[in-house]
């Protein structure tokens, strides 16, 4: 039985149906926010079996109805003691946010409270837009496709509970279950953050950490299948990805190695073996843009990084050896920089052991980060959250690094707001990234003032997504 399949868009009757299917929601009371996602298979299997049993007992209409969408006629008022204006980077005080349905209807200091409105008192907190993480991997393991999907859904819900109301999944590590998860979240049948997804990445055959050892195949099943050799095969791979419903494609223009193997020279310099050629990347970018898809690129340095930033990609990631020539290209092409600190932090111990303490990837990205902000390159928040060593729900620790490396607290916060929203596909910045009239009511709150202590972002107490309260741990404080 295919539980997580895509359905056609629902009509208003289905939207307003009062009976809802609950079996696919994996509550954080079962899967704790701080819990290691790799230790959940038994719990997930139990929830899955219980869900199937519950599903069979529900009428067909209930099985199609979306529970996790705000009622269109709801009216909610949020009293904000402090409100972060993510567009200007300033902190406002004593604001009122009026929410109708899933959108913000108005914001201001003296708004009248409509009769019958539900009031949420956050007058002792700092209210902010929901954060955006533009580089996660929700697939973190599992021995079957169903188990992988359940773990991935749980990881997405952990991110949401931590205040990340929008995420970009940057590689499914095989298959397209992330497309189905995205669509089920959008439909309201399960709870999770807004998602844009890559599906599986596009690489040359058998020359990277995730090779395809079988000839003549692009993508099949839920394993890594790749055969991108030459511009026309590259275009064909993009078309295949589009057929599966992705929002982005991701490429690797420097090799992605396991651990530190083949990563460092004897004199502690980073090895950057190029992957796709310039012509292949150009073909991928051209075909993707023709089809309305954006292109993200994994690149560390050297020839591969030069190919990445010169060939027209939309989201260069990592860029550990970003130099002044690279910065010039980023500025000319108005490209952002997605540094993904959390995954590099997790590699530091291994890197220092491999280089005798002389070098690490986090040291390199700090230098690149400082060069980029000095030149005015926009930084986009992306964590690389994926495995137990790079846990979901903990990404906000990056803000402290951003502030330490030269951004003001306000600038650090803005990396997860308009900078990230602008980079995402479909012009979604008109809907997310700030608390403004007409945008989705994606709202979070912390108790303290993150402009005074940016680590407050690691302690989110309130989350609303699309007008629905996901958690509220502020009440009574």
pLDDT in tens, 410-425: 999 999 999 999 999 9
Same domain, 408 and 309: yes
Reduced 3-state DSSP string for 150-197: HHHHHHHHHHHHCCEEEEEECCCCCCCHHHHHHHHHHHCCCCCCEEEE
CA distance 319 to 322: 5
Same domain, 163 and 187: yes
- Contact residues for 414 (Cβ-Cβ < 8 A; gap 6+): 86, 89
Same domain, 377 and 457: no
Same domain, 149 and 109: no
- Contact residues for 347 (Cβ-Cβ < 8 A; gap 6+): 259, 260, 360, 361, 362
Between 304 and 207, whose confidence is greater?
A: 304
Range of the domain at 90: 75-129+437-472
Please report whether residue 2 resides in a domain. Answer: no
- What is the average pLDDT value for the chain, to the nearest integer? 85
Q: What percent of the chain has pLDDT over 90?
A: 70
| Segment 414-469, tens digit of pLDDT | 999 999 999 999 999 999 999 999 999 999 999 999 999 999 999 999 999 999 99
CA distance 44 to 42: 5
Same domain, 339 and 459: no
CA distance 461 to 474: 6
Neighbours of 50 (CB within 10 A): 11
The CA angle 276-282-283, to the nearest 5 degrees, is: 90
For the whole model, what pTM was predicted? 0.85
Same domain, 117 and 165: no
CA distance 326 to 318: 13
Neighbours of 143 (CB within 10 A): 8
CA distance 322 to 300: 8
Closest CA to 405 of 344, 331, 314, 334: 344
Closest CA to 102 of 469, 472, 471: 469
**pLDDT at residue number 217:** 44
| Domain end among 415, 430, 445 | 430
Region 8-17 average pLDDT: 37
Same domain, 95 and 203: no
Same domain, 391 and 271: yes
The answer, yes or no, to whether residue 53 has pLDDT greater than 70, is: no
65-69, 174-178, 273-277: lowest mean pLDDT where? 65-69
Same domain, 313 and 355: yes
Please report whether residue 7 resides in a domain. Answer: no
Same domain, 452 and 416: no
Inter-residue contact 465 to 410 (CB < 8 Å): no
Secondary structure letter of residue 223 according to DSSP: S
**Any idea what the CATH number is for the domain that residue 456 is in?**
2.30.40.10
Please report whether residue 6 resides in a domain. Answer: no
Same domain, 234 and 366: yes
**pLDDT at residue number 18:** 36
**Any idea what the CATH number is for the domain that residue 244 is in?**
3.20.20.140
Cα separations in angstroms, 276 against 250, 252, 281, 298, 318: 12, 7, 6, 11, 17
Inter-residue contact 393 to 91 (CB < 8 Å): no
Please report whether residue 5 resides in a domain. Answer: no
| Total count of domains within the chain | 3
**pLDDT at residue number 477:** 54
Dihedral, CA of residue 268, residue 274, residue 278 and residue 279, to nearest 10: 180
What confidence category does residue 45 fall into, taking pLDDT thresholds of 50, 70 and 90? Answer: very low
Please report whether residue 345 resides in a domain. Answer: yes
Please report whether residue 69 resides in a domain. Answer: no
CA distance 275 to 304: 7
Please report whether residue 4 resides in a domain. Answer: no
Dihedral, CA of residue 265, residue 371, residue 342 and residue 308, to nearest 10: -70
**pLDDT at residue number 207:** 46
Backbone φ/ψ region at 221: left (φ over 0), alpha (ψ -120 to 50), beta: left
Closest CA to 296 of 384, 181, 418: 384
What confidence category does residue 306 fall into, taking pLDDT thresholds of 50, 70 and 90? Answer: very high
Please report whether residue 1 resides in a domain. Answer: no
CA distance 123 to 189: 32
Neighbours of 213 (CB within 10 A): 10
CA distance 250 to 237: 11
The CA angle 318-323-325, to the nearest 5 degrees, is: 120
Same domain, 185 and 162: yes
The answer, yes or no, to whether residue 254 has pLDDT greater than 90, is: no
Measure CA 101 to chain center. Answer: 24
CA distance 76 to 101: 8
SS3 of 1, please?
Answer: coil
CA distance 65 to 111: 34
Region 298-304 average pLDDT: 94
| Segment 147-182, tens digit of pLDDT | 999 999 999 999 999 999 999 999 998 889 999 999
CA distance 155 to 174: 17
Bridge partners of 84, per DSSP, are 91
61-70, 156-165, 366-375: lowest mean pLDDT where? 61-70
């Amino acid at each position: 039985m295919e539980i997580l399949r895509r359905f056609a868009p629902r009509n208003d009757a289905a939207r307003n149906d009062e009976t809802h299917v609950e079996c696919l929601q994996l509550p954080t009371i079962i899967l704790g926010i701080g819990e290691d996602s790799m230790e959940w298979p038994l719990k997930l299997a139990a929830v899955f079996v219980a869900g199937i049993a519950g599903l069979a007992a529900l009428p067909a209409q209930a099985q199609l109805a979306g529970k996790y969408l705000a009622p269109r006629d709801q009216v909610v008022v949020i009293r904000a003691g402090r409100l972060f204006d993510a567009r200007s980077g300033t902190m406002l005080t004593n604001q009122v946010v009026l929410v109708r349905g899933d959108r913000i209807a108005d914001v201001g200091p003296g708004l009248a409270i409509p009769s019958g409105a539900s009031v949420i008192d956050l007058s002792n907190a700092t209210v902010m837009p929901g954060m955006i993480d533009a580089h996660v991997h929700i697939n973190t393991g599992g021995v079957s496709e169903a188990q992988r999907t359940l773990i991935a859904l749980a990881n997405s819900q952990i991110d949401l509970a931590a205040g990340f109301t929008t995420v970009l999944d940057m590689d499914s590590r095989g298959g397209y279950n992330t497309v189905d998860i995205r669509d089920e979240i959008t439909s309201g049948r399960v709870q999770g953050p807004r998602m844009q997804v890559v599906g599986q990445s596009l690489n040359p055959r058998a020359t990277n950490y995730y090779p395809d050892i079988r000839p003549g195949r692009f993508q099949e099943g839920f394993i890594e299948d790749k055969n991108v050799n030459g511009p026309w095969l590259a275009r064909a791979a993009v078309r295949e990805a589009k057929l599966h419903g992705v929002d982005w494609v991701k490429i690797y223009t420097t090799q992605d190695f396991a651990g530190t193997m083949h990563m460092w020279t004897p004199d502690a310099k980073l090895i950057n073996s190029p992957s796709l050629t310039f012509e292949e990347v150009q073909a991928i970018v051209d075909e993707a843009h023709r089809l309305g898809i954006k292109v993200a690129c994994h690149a560390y340095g050297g020839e591969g990084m030069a190919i990445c930033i010169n060939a027209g990609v939309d989201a260069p990631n990592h860029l550990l050896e970003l130099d002044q020539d690279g910065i010039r290209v980023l500025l000319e092409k108005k490209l952002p920089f997605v540094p993904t600190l959390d995954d590099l932090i997790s590699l530091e111990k291994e890197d220092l052991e491999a280089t005798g303490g002389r070098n690490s990837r986090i040291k390199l990205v700090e230098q690149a980060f400082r060069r980029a902000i000095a030149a005015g390159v926009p930084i986009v928040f992306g964590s690389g959250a994926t495995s137990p060593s790079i846990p979901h729900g903990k990404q906000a620790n990056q803000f402290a690094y951003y502030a330490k490396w030269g951004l003001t607290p306000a600038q650090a916060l803005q990396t997860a707001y308009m900078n990230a929203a602008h980079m995402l596909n479909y012009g979604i910045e008109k809907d997310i990234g700030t608390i403004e009239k007409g945008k989705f009511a994606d709202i979070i709150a912390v108790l303290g003032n993150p402009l005074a202590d940016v680590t407050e972002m690691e302690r989110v107490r309130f989350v609303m997504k699309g007008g629905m309260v996901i958690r509220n741990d502020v009440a009574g404080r």
